[in-house]
Amino acid sequence: MGGANAPRRLSGMQKQVLALYRGFLRAARSKSPDDRRRVESIVSAEFRRGARQVDRKNFLYIEYLLRRGKKQLDQLRSPDTTALSSLNFIPPSQSVDSRK
């Protein structure tokens, strides 16, 4: 069991991130076709950017992003919300002081 081709087990946090991603895609289905494509595009871009820019060992920051994402997902699920906008993403290594 567990040969070379066996899938790698995901951590609890990785499962949470994937569940959040799937939640966004499911919520996008309830929007109009144009809004759905726009939401899917933004969500995909944000998650890919986060995967590249966030250190995988920075658990506190990942937990913060998960909390923020859950709030955004709740807003997207609202029938009054028609679209998302992309957010400016600042990795934790770039604090306000280091941008001077």
User: For 51-72, what is each residue's pLDDT tens digit?
Assistant: 999 999 999 999 999 999 999 9
Compute φ and ψ for 21, nearest 5 degrees: -60, -50
Of 38-42, 51-55, 82-86, 88-92, where does mean pLDDT reach its minimum?
A: 88-92
CA distance 88 to 70: 17
Residue keyed to tokens 């290594």: 93
CA distance 49 to 51: 5
Distances in whole angstroms, Cα of residue 1 to Cα of each of 4, 5, 8, 11, 95: 9, 10, 13, 20, 46
| pLDDT over threshold 80, residue 93 | no
